[in-house]
Structure formats: structure tokens, C-alpha cells
Structure 1
Amino acid sequence: MNLKETIKQLPDSAGVYQYFDINGHLLYIGKAKSLSKRVRSYFSFEPILKAKQNLSLRIKKMIDQTASLNYIVVNSEHDALILENSLIKQLNPKYNILLRDDKTYPYIYVDNSLDFPRFEITRKVIKSSNIKYYGPYSTGAKDILDSVYEICKLVQKKSCLKSKKLCLYYQIDKCLGPCELDVSPAAYKKELDSATELILNKKTLIKKLQERMYFYAEELRFEEAGELKNRIETIGRTEIKSEIDFASDENYDIFVLQNTTNRAVVLRIFMRNGKIISSSHDYIQLNEGYDEDEIYQRVLMEFYKDEKPPIIAPILVAHKFLHVEVIEEHLTKVFGQKAQIKVPLRGDKKHLVDLAIINAKELLKKEITENNTKILYDMKELFSLQRVPNRVEIFDNSHMSGVATVGAMAVYENGKFDKKSYRTYHLRAKDEYSQMRETLTRRVESFSKNSPPDLWVLDGGSTLLKLAIEIVESNGIYLDIIAISKEKIDAKAHRAKGKANDILYTKDDIYRLKNSDVRLQWVQNLRDEAHRCAITFHKKTKLKLDKESKLLTLKGISQAKIVKLLKFFGTFEILKELSIEDISSVLNQKDAEIIKNIYN
């Protein structure tokens, strides 16, 4: 069935539609209250099927490339919204705008039902009576809490009250000692109120920390002064300066967007009790144009996810966007109460949104360094990538004679390595090909939680490149992939004067760049970081295996049998879960019983 016939047969039902190009690559995922009406709105049918003239340049370009479509019928527009969001995160279509902000923001909370309440951090709603939340904090929550416990004489640890004995915290005047002493509720509440004031008022907290920092500096305690300096910077980092101070105790979550030709920024500001308490922002790469409606929908879906936040506040945005009612319906279900998305037109709330817009414009001026930006566009042009490679995942494996086999994924984003996003894998596969298959397959399986990058880089040649392409395409994902391998002469990697003559492979071409070419050096740098990560994790794993081997050797299991076990099962951790029968399939019954006794 051709595209025109498929469109004419679409049902008048809610659902999700997917556009594909002539090569079967996914172009776009959309949702609709009526699949028939929505998809037809893109096309003009006479005299031939083509994009309607009133479409934006971005959408017209997409429709011109569309050769086929698939669709999924669901029960409601709300269900279509959920499915659309999930599929976009997993499949990363060319014309959809992908947001990678998968963070959840922490809150500080206190349970006032306790005899001696203390502050803690949470990212979820706590099931307990008389809970009071403060936040969310995009950064600095732990620093705020640590500072409060240093300044106020509260119960410092959960375990303190259980001991029934005065501890070091009492001796150094950081706790009133209710574990043993008769501390009145009024005296403890005074400390609790002081701590609450510090949490609510960053300026007061920072002032007290600065006083301590200066004291430490005068006492030549420079290390402690330096720690406080760093803490002060972290606490104040996301604070937006504002004279806006609502007379009432109003709460608002503010979201605004601003964009240039190639880049957009989403800025979030959180107002609690009439004061701005924190903010956060993320940059969005615009590969195929700007769609404010889509970004607003995705931003709100991603921020609130599917968990009720500890504090539910009205949402303020700069402009009304398409399908705002569907987003409100979804958030109402998530919150368990009516969600409100408003566009303020006057008064303090309008000033608040205007302040957010000013700050978003300033953030857009802070471009990535020119050199890093240039190399990314150079790579896109050289390799004909579908996207500027702002986020790259790099893979390598490591082992020693089939023992301590591991895989590693390094991540490069916005001009630097993002070590918090690195991942390592214990592998069971024996050969290099199967090891890379296992590593890449496990990464693809996690796309629903952590969206695909713009580019994969593999340490390997054309064989591993074909493997990676097969894995992503079999899962319906079109992802740019580059493989890098050393030039081989007589089956050995060739180096000239210490410099590797590396070869780059893409789906369609082979590149032999000079080793002085900065584009080759950029890929080599990524490959070397993944290799370092894999080797480091391998050494750590091998050290742990050696310790386990010594334990088994002491119990009479020979080294040869240990190697045999590891080659068959992969890790010692698996032995803890196996039965005697499983182990005896590799070793004899007596050895299997010894090993099982060790790990019981």
C-alpha cells in the first residue's frame, strides 16, 4: 500500500503516527486526537500527493522526505501523548526535538511528627504525617543541609537518638544532646526554627558561612576556609537576582524558552513562599528548526515525569502552546489534583516570566567555546551526519585471556567529557565481536530511560561498525555511527614515529586522514577516553577477582578450575546465585559443594 492510500484509510481515532523516508529511516513521531484529520492536515492530495503550502519550512522539508507511515491506535489523546513521549525518547527521530534532561530535583524535608525532628533530602513524596518540604533545588541541596547542621544544634544523624548516650556532636557543641539529656521541646524547636530560617533565606545562610570562612582564614585554617568557599559558590550558583517578592506565600514553577538559529535554552525558575529559591537550565540543539509548541510539551512532560512532586505549584509559561489542555490533563493525573498552566498577562506574575526571559536570553549568549563548536560542525560536514554531534557515546571492551571481561561507555557532551554519564558493564561474551554486541545491546535496551545520543563511536573496524548498524536499525533507531581502528600491516597495528595511522569507517565511506588532522585527533581523543575507562574498570574487576580466587584457592580449588569457572560463568557474583547442580556442570560434585558453601 502506497503512502496516499495509507493516509486515506487512517481511522478517526486517537493514536500515534510515524513518518519514514525512502530508506526506512524514522523521520518524525506525532500524536493525534484523530489520526485521519491530523495526518491529512499535512498533505495536499491533488494533482499529486505533496506537502501543503502553509506548513513551516521544517515540516514541509519533513513531508517532502516522507515515503511511508505507520500508526498505532490508542484509547485517548492522553494515551497518545504518553506513547508519543516514550517513543521519541527511545527512537530519537530526525525531526523531533529530543530533550535529555532526565534529572529529578531534590527537596529538603522535615517530619514534624517526631519528638526531635531533623532535616533530610528526598526526591519523592515521603509517606508520613506532618511532613514539610522545601525546594526543589537544582543544585546545592546537600551543601545547604550540611551548613544547617554545622550552624544549628540539631540531632545530626538518625542513629544518634538510638544510642541513648552523648556523642562527639554534643562535645563539639553541634547538638543539644536529647539522646541522654532532658532537652525541652521549646529549646529544640528554637534550633529547628533557626535551621528553617537558614533554609528559607539563602542570603542569611551565605552570610553566616562567610563569617566562618573569614574566621578560618584568619586562623590560617585554609583548607577549611576553601571548603566553605566552594560550598558558598555552590549554594549561590543558581540563584537569580530579583527584587520581586510576593507579599503572599505563593508558589510557582516558571518555564520559558528562547532560541537562536541552531540552539534553544529552557529556563526553569522555582518560587516558593513568594521568593525565588532556585533555577536551572538546559540547552537544546536545533537540528531541523525550532518548534516552540513541541518543546513546551516535552519540557513539562520530562520535568514532572510520572511521579507526584512533593510540592505542587501552578505552572507559568511565556506563551500558550498547542495541546496545553492535554498536558494539563496528564499532569492532573500525575499530581492527583488539578494542574494549572497559565500565561500571565500583567502584574507580578508577568514580571516573573519577563525576568525568566531576560535570564534565558543571557544564557543563550554563553555559547560553547568557538573551537569546540567548530569541530562539531566540521565532523557533521565531513561524515554527513544527520545531527551535529553534541552528545557522543564511545564504546570499548577490555579483558585478559577471557577473564574479567568488561565493556565501557564514555560520554562526550557540549565540548567535554560527562563522567557522570559513563557506564560500565560486566560481560559474559568470550570474543571481541560478541562482547561489543553485548555492550551495545545493553545500551539500546536502556534507551527508554536514557535517550540515544547524536553519535556512537566504536573502537573497532568495519566488522564492528556493521554490527552496530544492525543492532540500532533492528530496533527501529537511526543513529550515526563511526568506527575507528589502527591501520594494519602484516596483521599488526602500524605506527609511524609513535603516531597511529588510524582509519575511520562510516556506513558509506572509509576515511584515511593525516594524523595531523584535528578531526581525526578529535575521534582519537574520544576513543582513548573510552579505552582508559574500560582498562580502569577491567583492572578494578580483575583485582576483585584475584581476591575471590585466593579465597577459593585456600579452600582447595585450583587456579585452573577457577579460570574454567570464570570462562564459563563470567563473574564470581553469578556463582552466588547458582545451585550445586549448575556449578557441577563445569566442575565435579565435591568442588561444587565447596564453592556453594563458600558463597552461602
Structure 2
Amino acid sequence: MPTPLSQIPPGNNPLADLPIDLPADSPIDSLAQRIANLPTSSGVYQYFDHKNRLLYIGKAKNLKNRIKSYFKLSPTEVAPNPKTSPRIQMMVSQIAFIQTILVQNEQDALILENSLIKQLKPKYNILLRDDKTYPYIYIDMSEDFPTPAITRKIIKKKAIKYFGPYTTGAKEILESLYELLPLVQKKSCAGGKKACLFYQIKRCPAPCEGKITPQAYHATINETIALIQNKNKLIALLEAKMLSLSEMMRFEEATIYRDRIKKLGGIESFSQIDLKKLYDLDVFALVSEGKNAILIKLFMREGKIVSSNFEHLKSECGFDENSIYKQAIINHYQEEVPLPPSQILLPHIGVPEDMVELQDFLLQKTGKKIPILSPQKGEKKDLISLAFKNAKEILRLQSNRSYAEDMLLSDLKDLLELASVPYRFEVFDTSHHAGTNPVGAMVVYENMDFIKDAYRRYNLSTQDEYSQMREMLLRRVGDFANNPPPHLWVIDGGKAQINLAKEILESSASNVEVIGIAKEKIDTKAHRAKGSAKDTLYTLNTSFSLKPSDKRLQFLQKLRDEAHRYAITYHRQKKQKDMQKVSILEQKGIGKASVKKLLDFFGSFEAIDNASPEELEQVLGKRVGLCD
């Protein structure tokens, strides 16, 4: 049996702050008896197969009625309900037992369901990872000399004007505004006493010396707002600046503008959309084909699409559109946003009960009623058609690009006897020198790319490699609630490390598989010759070697080598900083032997810095002056 949710470590338990009732496991002999004894209250249900693997997580206002709807019950058998989709029937045919979690109300069930899907990643639930809060540009119009800035949260003032959300390019827009217009460069400038360099290069109007009035400055702010709202005009000004720099042979500066223009042109296909009515709308649309799907999001404010984003989803088990739209809305609005829409548009409304619950959720999070609509005609219907058109084109490009890798990943699944195709990888490695400066690194790979924003570095405290790997993996598992797990862990190591990782994963009940890749040893040293290294692959049940020319081995080596590069780079950075600290201590009259004594006793330079003179004297047997 998986570890009960009540036993998940506190930092990794999404149930910790919810008023729930976890019923004790009852000795029910059959699935039919379990269904017959289900509670009728609100809650979350979990389906498991005969190998105790989590298949699906759902929520219900009435657990008994909802779960019974999946089945066709008779005195002689429990079968999938033939009225459900083939995907659901396939899932139900694998159910061996059911667990339920009772909650006090439907809102708790909605939030708990979403949290558990992220943390436990069941086979038949689609996990959406794009749950970050997008940035907004804001201006405090109550100030005499306001300046545009970026925020992801609501500013607690009355005269704040927001623009966005921006899925990309917010920083580039802000930098461009400050370079193209004579804006006050810093908030502190308005209260200064003397004009600075920015005034001399005509980048600031110098309100500090009274060279501009608030009324005149507000004309500049109006121009700023006009550029924020008209991306094409902003890009045109940047292009003119780039050409001017090129003509002056200042190519490095021109390249900066070229890259900025490219970043701001990310939603060029929507730039001509300008509705007569000043709608504030968020549009979600899902397009799927085979094992691939694209979820696209359009954000319209005051009748113009200000930004868009998409998420590439992969699944061997099909796509439940209603669940994906529901999860996307919860992810996007789980934190209070500065500029919420007046309406949310979907291509179709799935389960009406779910939409009502989502609207209640939005009211709770935003403080305003936000209808979720599926328009059948007019401009709003055209917006959904536009979203579909773009999602289909993105899916076509992504599918063509990923075909070869999808085949490779499918071969890996068969080779390693994995339960499902691994689409997202987390790869772990550690680095140290004779036990000093131990660090860990995690790199992430998905959709044919290393996802560098998802990389993580770990300062480790233990000395041996086994303990270092344990420390790092425990910390990663502890973050599953905030950063959902992948499909597969790739560990730099062999059987011992695989067993360690599996033990740690079982403590979280997360649906993650593990493999190891151990470097070939020549004269007790790791052999890294590209194209010829005979590394060994490990699973829980076996180990084997592939030919160096095998594409599957080369793919895993590429992942392992990137984790090694990231780990050793961080280790060298730490080592360099410590060498600088040793040099400083030596300059203060403390020799290398004394430095080693201090490090052996205190464990780190930070602890040495925080130690009192008496503690230092106790270790070294003499008075030292580290605070000089």
C-alpha cells in the first residue's frame, strides 16, 4: 500500500492546512463492497491498480454518486460504465481499490484535488505545470512624478494603473520605456537635491532641481501609457534606434535592441486584433492529436490582446478537456491577480457543476464575479476560433519536431520496463573535492530541451556521496507540493542510489520512476570519452550495458553529462569563494592549519564569521581578530 497521506512529511503534505477527515482503511473484501459503503459527503477520491499505483484523482460533491457513475454494477461483476469515454473505461478496468478523503465543503475538495494532482501525478490526470503568476507593469498615478515598474502582486494603493499580464517581455518593455522617454529613472530622484548623469544624457527631466512640473511630466506618462498599449509603435521606435546604432557601427548595442524586438514580437500574430468594445477577457483553448496537446491562453485587456502563452502536454492516456480547463483556471487564479478579467471564455462548458464551483472559487480569490462562458457567435466566438487556429499551428510544429524523440522515449520505456513513457526528466548529480564544498545539482529535460528555469542547486552538508545524494533527494521530495514531480528520475549512480531514491519516493507516495546510469571505470576513474564510454544502466530489477553507439544510451548520457556540468560548475564557484575567504583569513594572520581547524569545528565560513572571539579563541588557543 502507498504511504497514507497522513504520514507524508509536513513540508510535503498538501492536506496540512485543510479541515479534512481521513477515514481509517476498512477491511473491505471487494471493490463492489467498497463502492457500496462509500460516503455521500464531499471529498476527493483516488483510484489504484493491483500494483498499488495511483491511477486517478478526482473530487465530488457526493462521493458515492460520483464514483458509482464510473461503473456498471451487477451481482456478478463490476465493469466500466459503457456510457463513459474509451479513455475512462480503460482506466476503470484497471481499478483494484479506492481511497477517499472527506472534506468540509466543495471548495476544499476543488483545491485539494488540484494540490494532490500536482504532488502525486497520477497516470490518468494531466498535470499542468504553468502555474506561475505573470508580471504586470504598473504606474502609481497619485505620485507627482510616477514611474512604471513591474509587479506580480496587487499594490495596496487606490490610484494604481495596471497593464498586462505579460507572459513574456515585461522587462524588455520597461527597459525600452526608460531608454526612449525622459522618465524619472528612480523613485529617489524626485526627492534628490541635484541632477545626475541621467539628466545630462537627456534620460531624466530632473524634477530634483525643479526643471519640470508635475503637469508637464504627466504628458510624458501619457506617452508612456500609449506605448505600453501599442506594442507595434513601441517596436517601430526600437527598430529605428537599432538602425541608427548600426549606421554608427555600434553593433553590440544594436544587437541588444534586435534581441529585445524579437522578444516583444512574440505575439505578432495577434497584433491586429482590436475590438471595438473594451473587453477584458481570458481565453483558454485546447487542441489535441494523438499523444500531444496544446493548451493556449490569450489575455485581452481593453479590447486588445496583450499577451499569450501555451503549454505543450503529452499523455499516453488521452486528454480530458474538462479537467484540463478546470486545472488551468485554478492554477492561473490561485493567487490574487492585479488585473482580473471580466469574463473567461472556453470553447465549451463541460460539467456545469464544475463551472459553478470554479466561479465560486474565482469570487473567493478575486473578490469579483467572473462568469465562465462558451460563446456560440459574435466577436467572442471569433476569439476562441483564433485561439484554436494558433493552437493547431503550434501543435503541428511541435509534433513534427518531436516525432523522432517520441519514438526514442517510447523505446526507452520498453527497454527500461517503465510503466509509462517518460516525457519529463529530472537528473541528479553531486560534486565535492575530498569531502569539501559538497553540492548537488538537478537539471530538467522536457519537450526536446533542457528547462534551465527549472534547474536547482543544493548546498549539502554531508561528506560521503551516498549521504549527499540522500540529502538532495529528500529536499527535492519536500518541494513536490510547490514544484510537481517529473515522470522519471535519472540518478548518477548504481543499485544503491536507485534503492535510496525509491525509498525516498515511496515516503511521498509520488508516481515517479527511477533509473541510474553509472560511468564506466578505467583504473578506478570515471571514463567520459564521448561516443565510446560503456556506461551501465540500472533499474530496480536489473542492470545492463548498451553499445556506445546506441541512441538511447547517448540520450541518457547527454542528460547525465548536463547534470555533471551544472554540479561541477557550482562546486567550482563555491570553491573559488572559499579560496578568497581563506586568503582574507591569511591576511589577518591566520594560517592554513588554523583555517582548517576552524572549518573542522564550525563547518563553514559563514559559521566562522558568526562566531564570537571567545569561541574562536577556544578552538585556536589564541586571541584572533576576525572582525577587524
- Shared topology, TM-score over 0.5? yes
Q: Corresponding residue for 1:202? A: 231
SS in 2 for 1:511: strand
Q: Corresponding residue for 1:176? A: 205
Q: Corresponding residue for 1:6? A: 34
Q: State the distance in 2 between where 1:77 and 1:212 align.
A: 55
- The 5 Å alignment of 1:453-492 reads 453-488=486-521
Q: CA deviation at 1:98?
A: 0.6
Q: 1:455 to 1:580 in 2, by over 3 A?
A: farther
Q: Corresponding residue for 1:45? A: 73
For residue 504 of structure 1, the aligned residue among 537, 544, 550 is 537
Q: 1:135 to 1:493 in 2, by over 3 A?
A: closer
Q: Give the stretch that moved more between structures: 370-379 or 331-340.
A: 370-379
Q: CA deviation at 1:517?
A: 0.7
CA contact (8 A) 2:168 2:263 kept: yes
Q: State the distance in 2 between where 1:370 and 1:488 align.
A: 35
CA contact (8 A) 1:397 1:405 kept: yes
Q: Read off the aligned partner of 2:447 and give its amino acid letter.
A: N
Q: Read off the aligned partner of 1:379 and give its amino acid letter.
A: L
Q: Corresponding residue for 1:523? A: 556
2:579 pairs with 1:550: no
CA contact (8 A) 1:14 1:73 kept: yes
Q: Corresponding residue for 1:64? A: 93
Q: Corresponding residue for 1:362? A: 393
Q: Corresponding residue for 2:241? A: 212
SS in 1 for 2:312: strand
Q: State the distance in 2 between where 1:407 and 1:291 align.
A: 37
For residue 24 of structure 1, the aligned residue among 46, 52, 58 is 52
Q: CA deviation at 1:216?
A: 1.8
CA contact (8 A) 2:152 2:337 kept: no
Q: 1:592 to 1:90 in 2, by over 3 A?
A: farther
Q: Read off the aligned partner of 2:367 and give its amino acid letter.
A: G
- The 5 Å alignment of 1:61-100 reads 61-100=90-129
Q: Corresponding residue for 1:54? A: 83
Q: Read off the aligned partner of 1:415 and give its amino acid letter.
A: M
CA contact (8 A) 2:147 2:183 kept: yes
For residue 332 of structure 1, the aligned residue among 363, 366, 371 is 363
SS in 1 for 2:270: coil
Q: State the distance in 2 between where 1:55 and 1:529 align.
A: 44
Q: State the distance in 2 between where 1:16 and 1:187 align.
A: 59
2:446 pairs with 1:413: yes
State the Cα deviation string for residues 517-536 of structure 1 (Å, max 9, x = none). 11111111111111111111
Q: Corresponding residue for 2:574? A: 541
Q: Corresponding residue for 1:107? A: 136
CA contact (8 A) 1:404 1:570 kept: no
2:471 pairs with 1:438: yes
Q: State the distance in 2 between where 1:490 and 1:208 align.
A: 62
Q: State the distance in 1 between where 2:423 and 2:602 align.
A: 38
SS in 1 for 2:429: strand
TM-score, structure 2 normalization: 0.90
Q: State the distance in 1 between where 2:104 and 2:412 align.
A: 44
State the Cα deviation string for residues 249-274 of structure 1 (Å, max 9, x = none). 22111111111111111111111111
SS in 2 for 1:126: coil
Q: State the distance in 1 between where 2:365 and 2:621 align.
A: 51
2:312 pairs with 1:279: no
Q: Give the stretch that moved more between structures: 2-11 or 240-249.
A: 240-249
Q: State the distance in 1 between where 2:462 and 2:600 align.
A: 9
Q: CA deviation at 1:578?
A: 6.7
Q: Read off the aligned partner of 2:234 and give its amino acid letter.
A: L
Q: Read off the aligned partner of 1:328 and give its amino acid letter.
A: Q
Q: Read off the aligned partner of 1:141 and give its amino acid letter.
A: A
Q: State the distance in 1 between where 2:277 and 2:158 align.
A: 25
Q: CA deviation at 1:307?
A: 2.4
Q: Read off the aligned partner of 1:61 and give its amino acid letter.
A: M
Q: Corresponding residue for 1:34? A: 62
Q: State the distance in 1 between where 2:518 and 2:457 align.
A: 21
TM-score, structure 1 normalization: 0.94
Q: State the distance in 2 between where 1:424 and 1:128 align.
A: 37
- The 5 Å alignment of 1:364-403 reads 364-367=395-398, 368-403=401-436
Q: Corresponding residue for 2:485? A: 452
State the Cα deviation string for residues 367-392 of structure 1 (Å, max 9, x = none). 23443333222222322323332221
SS in 2 for 1:239: helix
Q: Read off the aligned partner of 2:516 and give its amino acid letter.
A: A
Q: 1:242 to 1:10 in 2, by over 3 A?
A: same
Q: State the distance in 2 between where 1:497 and 1:345 align.
A: 57
State the Cα deviation string for residues 317-354 of structure 1 (Å, max 9, x = none). 11112211111111110001112211111111111111
CA contact (8 A) 2:290 2:318 kept: yes
Q: Corresponding residue for 1:321? A: 350
SS in 2 for 1:174: coil
SS in 2 for 1:237: helix
SS in 2 for 1:207: helix
Q: State the distance in 1 between where 2:403 and 2:292 align.
A: 14
Q: CA deviation at 1:115?
A: 0.9
Q: Corresponding residue for 2:17? A: none
CA contact (8 A) 1:555 1:594 kept: no
SS in 1 for 2:195: coil
For residue 138 of structure 1, the aligned residue among 159, 167, 188 is 167
For residue 258 of structure 1, the aligned residue among 287, 295, 298 is 287
Q: Read off the aligned partner of 1:248 and give its amino acid letter.
A: K
Q: CA deviation at 1:281?
A: 0.8
Q: CA deviation at 1:197?
A: 0.5
When the two structures are aligned, how many residues end up with a matched partner?
A: 595
Q: State the distance in 2 between where 1:331 and 1:590 align.
A: 59
SS in 2 for 1:84: helix
Q: 1:555 to 1:210 in 2, by over 3 A?
A: closer
Q: 1:212 to 1:519 in 2, by over 3 A?
A: same
Q: 1:496 to 1:575 in 2, by over 3 A?
A: closer
Q: 1:494 to 1:280 in 2, by over 3 A?
A: closer
For residue 233 of structure 1, the aligned residue among 262, 273, 297 is 262
CA contact (8 A) 1:390 1:415 kept: no
Q: State the distance in 2 between where 1:564 and 1:25 align.
A: 51
Q: Read off the aligned partner of 1:67 and give its amino acid letter.
A: A
2:565 pairs with 1:532: yes
Q: Corresponding residue for 1:191? A: 220
CA contact (8 A) 1:14 1:75 kept: yes
SS in 1 for 2:268: coil
2:164 pairs with 1:124: no
Q: Corresponding residue for 2:372? A: 341
Q: State the distance in 2 between where 1:183 and 1:50 align.
A: 78
Unmatched tracts of structure 2, length 5 or more: 1-26
For residue 352 of structure 1, the aligned residue among 375, 383, 398 is 383
2:197 pairs with 1:164: no
Q: CA deviation at 1:50?
A: 2.6
SS in 2 for 1:500: coil
Q: State the distance in 1 between where 2:80 and 2:604 align.
A: 56
Q: Read off the aligned partner of 2:126 and give its amino acid letter.
A: I
SS in 1 for 2:209: coil
Q: Read off the aligned partner of 1:413 and give its amino acid letter.
A: E
Q: CA deviation at 1:555?
A: 4.7
SS in 1 for 2:65: helix
SS in 2 for 1:159: helix
For residue 618 of structure 2, the aligned residue among 589, 592, 595 is 589
SS in 1 for 2:205: coil
